[in-house]
Amino acid sequence: MPTLRYFTVVPRLPAELEKLRELAYNLWWSWAPAGQELFVRLDPGLWEAVHGNPIEMLASVDQGRLEELAGDDAYTSHLESAWQTFQRYMQREGWFSRSFPEAAGARIAYFSMEYGIHECIPVYSGGLGVLAGDHLKAASDLGLPLVGVGLAYAEGYFRQALNSDGWQGERYPINDWRRMPVSPVLDGAGKRLVVDVTYPDAVVRAQLWKVQVGRVPLFLLDANLEVNAPRDRSITGPLYGGDQEFRVRQEIMLGIGGMHALAALGLSPTVCHMNEGHSAFLALERIGRVMRERGVSFQVASEANSAGNIFTTHTPVPAGNDVFDASLVRRYLEPYRSALGVSDAELLGLGRTDPRDNDAPFSMPVLAFRAADHYNGVSALHGDVSRKMWQGLWPELPTHEVPIESITNGVHTPSWVAAEMGDLFTRYLGPRWAERCDDAELWERTHEIPDAELWQVHEHRRHRLVQNTRRWVRAAAERRGAGREELDWADEVLDPRALTIGFARRFATYKRATLLLTDLERVKKLLADPERPVQLVFAGKAHPQDRGGKDLIRRIIQESRDAGLRGRLVFIEDYDMRIARTLVSGVDVWLNTPRRPHEASGTSGMKAAANGALNVSVLDGWFAEAWHDHSWEVGWAVGRGEEYPDGTGDLREAELLYDLLEREVVPLFFARDGSGRLPRGWIKRMKNAIAKLTPRYNTARMVREYAKRFYVPAIRMSHNLTDGDLAAAKALTAWKERVREAWPSVSVADIRLLSNDEVAVGEAVRVSAAVRLGALTPADVAVELYHGPTGGKLELGEGRIVRMGPVERLADGAWLFSGEIPTTASGAHAFAARVVPYNEAMSHPYETSLIRWA
């Protein structure tokens, strides 16, 4: 083989259009209409053909067209206006710096296995990645000092191709980074910046690419270098491909390699946010760096770092979390273990619910929990589920006290609202609606939009959905080599006037994509009514190894060929963000039918709601709390939040879904006013959905919550523990060691009820407790009364806490504590006493997992 020399060809832009190049390399254009329209105007057909990739666009557009536009003052003035808007955006003072001046100089590093920013950078697979992309966009809007870290997948997630039987096949086209809005990262000498990542059998080198997302940079590690062996190059090959060993290798590159990358860039993170457990190995690298740089023990370095680590879990079932064989993790972490100064058992124990269980596998979420002081689920219901799932890490705590909080996901509204809908919002809500996505008062003005205008815009979007679907279905048929009859049929699928129900997401079996097809005869009757036509549009991918998910897709394809469903039931192949935007802005109803409580959050229904679509959903994930807050005003609920063992409730919930569609949804959609044109009742619900859901379920609100509840407290605590010679971290470590040593001697020796056992409402119940503390003092502990109503049962449900105060040292060495339980309601009540370690330097009172009940 000859030695290859590489070079890059870049578009030659006329001087008048040179600003297009800088705009192209900043993904700001992906959510700013003023920016995106510039590229569409170059050649609308070509823009569609290159999947909205501005670099591919500039490389492919006719040079004569560029010269023509350079002399077109209408275009150049449009370019200058967009450029000025972009400059104002990049230079404006951010909400974060105004709100938290004490956090100046801090940096937040956000780690995620995937990022869905725009379809032209295919390093995402689904909801987790799109959420990460929306998180970066909102961080840019709000001016957070945040940097993203991920992997540059040579193959990315697969492209879907269905055969004639409807069975999913996968294609893995190679990503050409030079033809994407991605820039190589160079060192001070102008050469590619490369980092080294240690594996048991080799040191793997990785170069860096930068994606600029507004004001936030995203750095992607790329191991696809000739200097690496083929096996090592594949580490950044496919997204979510390979076996367990492949996943471990990828997650070492993300977590440990990501920390190396930040160090090479001179970006020292104050806070590291782990978006799922994939990046949890970063904690070991952070600890090792502090040990080397500050000359402290593993325990001190761990204490110093945990305050600055945040972990967001997205998976509500144990099987969905990364768990690896201990021998595999032992081999891959051995190069790091000795430098950390811990034994093999201690290192593996960090990833085990019970560190003493030598037979347990190694869990990445457990490592993330142990290495962080701040953790959350992604909806209120998911927070409850997570506390139950991971209670084993705090075995003595009642479930509701497990310190896993919840911050409900959101969507980056400007990225998902259709252009025509955005124009409507500008007209009636004002030009700054995109900057005020979480302003509830502003969104109440949605009710001022005239019904006729809102309906006209919505019908236009439905027509656009039908047109695009016909084009996509035809293109898929052509790729399969379909005959003339099928191609002609593709040109006629769907009815622009029909009630359109959309279902698009990852095809995991728990999401029950075919629940609506349980009773085919009933579905045919629903869809075939000539007076009230209904149609179904499906899209989504199944994981390559998920045969169950693939079976669901095949069933939909096969049912779509039934004479009673043909043309009214359609599956769109190769789902991506482009198709998602068309669907959420064009359907009338967004259908969501997971088995509760398996949907951690879900965000597609939020995107649909911002465009005026109404949700029909099981009460799971985000919609459970939306329904609780707003009930029927924003859509329809399937059931009342019942939970069934897997599969046993499917028939029941299918029946509820049919009844809902037949008796409420379809009649309301076709109930027109006196003019026969407008469905006033439906439009009222559309306005309610937009006004009530949009200001709550967006990433502006979500990122503000992360900043207020996690980022800023973590920055503050991290500074407290790491300032100077780590004195605070050393002191907290020593204190925890002292508490653990003394804890076997801690007990509640005696509890006395000082009041009558029957009191009137409003009268306090006085309690005393004698507590043996051994070598500890009252300042080292919190003695608490855990109390609440029993409802006549023999146990407490979710109790409340009253702190007791020390009174005196008793003759036998115990300490006497006293406290009062307030009473606000009659009925049977109970209480228990307990002792927990207390230190104001801890991020939360249960860091040690120690608790002693009476």
Q: What is the pLDDT of residues 623-652, one digit of tens each?
A: 999 998 877 689 999 999 999 987 889 999
Nearest to 465 by CA among 565, 557, 536, 542: 536
- Strand runs (DSSP E) across 605-694, as ranges? 614-618, 635-638
What's the rounded mean pLDDT across residues 750-754? 93
Residue pair 151/253 in contact (Cβ under 8 Å)? The answer is yes
Say how far apart CA 219 and CA 269 lie, in whole Å: 14
> HSE-up of 671 (CA within 13 Å, CB side)?
11
Cis peptide before 2, with omega less than 30 degrees from 0?
no
pLDDT tens-digit map of 558-588: 999 998 999 999 999 999 999 999 999 999 9
What's the rounded mean pLDDT across residues 133-142? 98
Tokens of 438: 């979480």
Q: What is the pLDDT of residue 10?
A: 61
pLDDT tens-digit map of 511-535: 999 999 999 999 999 999 999 999 9
Q: What is the pLDDT of residue 797?
A: 79
State percent of the chain over pLDDT 70: 98
Q: Please state, as a whole number, how many other Cβ atoms lie within 10 Å of the Cβ of residue 238.
A: 18
pLDDT tens-digit map of 788-826: 998 878 788 789 999 999 999 999 999 999 999 999 888
Residue 6 pLDDT grade (very low, low, confident, very high; cuts 50, 70, 90): low
- Tokens 């508490």 — which residue? 739
Tokens of 706: 């992360």
Q: What is the pLDDT of residue 633?
A: 85
pLDDT tens-digit map of 152-208: 999 988 999 999 999 999 999 999 999 999 999 999 999 999 999 999 999 999 999
Q: For the packed helices 73-91 and 33-42, what is the interaxial angle rounded to 10 degrees?
A: 150
pLDDT tens-digit map of 455-496: 999 999 999 999 999 999 999 999 999 899 989 999 999 999
Residue 114 pLDDT greater than 90, yes or no: yes
DSSP secondary structure letters along 366-382 = HHHHHH-SEEEESSHHH
DSSP secondary structure letters along 45-113 = HHHHHTTT-HHHHHHHS-HHHHHHHHT-HHHHHHHHHHHHHHHHHHHSPPHHHHH-GGGTT--EEEEES
Q: What is the pLDDT of residue 630?
A: 76
> HSE-up of 552 (CA within 13 Å, CB side)?
25
Say how far apart CA 765 and CA 542 lie, in whole Å: 58
Q: What is the pLDDT of residue 796?
A: 84
> How many residues are there in the chain?
854
Q: What is the pLDDT of residue 549?
A: 95
Tokens of 428: 């009636």
Q: What is the pLDDT of residue 834?
A: 96
What's the rounded mean pLDDT across residues 714-718? 96
Residue 33 pLDDT greater than 60, yes or no: yes
pLDDT tens-digit map of 369-422: 999 999 999 999 999 999 999 999 999 999 999 999 999 999 999 999 999 999
Q: What is the pLDDT of residue 11?
A: 65
- Tokens 């509701």 — which residue? 400
Residue 672 pLDDT grade (very low, low, confident, very high; cuts 50, 70, 90): very high
Q: What sign does the CA torsion over 374, 379, 385, 388 have?
A: positive
* CB-neighbour burial class of residue 668 (10 A; exposed 0-12, middle 13-18, buried 19+): middle
Alpha-carbon Rg for the chain, nearest whole angstrom, is: 29
pLDDT higher at 791 or 684 = 684
Residue 145 pLDDT grade (very low, low, confident, very high; cuts 50, 70, 90): very high
Say how far apart CA 231 and CA 202 lie, in whole Å: 11
Residue 249 contacts by C-beta under 8 Å, 6 or more apart in sequence? 199, 235, 332
- Strand runs (DSSP E) across 689-839, as ranges? 747-753, 765-772, 781-789, 800-809, 815-821, 829-837
Element (H, E) at 485: helix 484-490
Tokens of 32: 């700013």
Residue 1 pLDDT greater than 60, yes or no: no
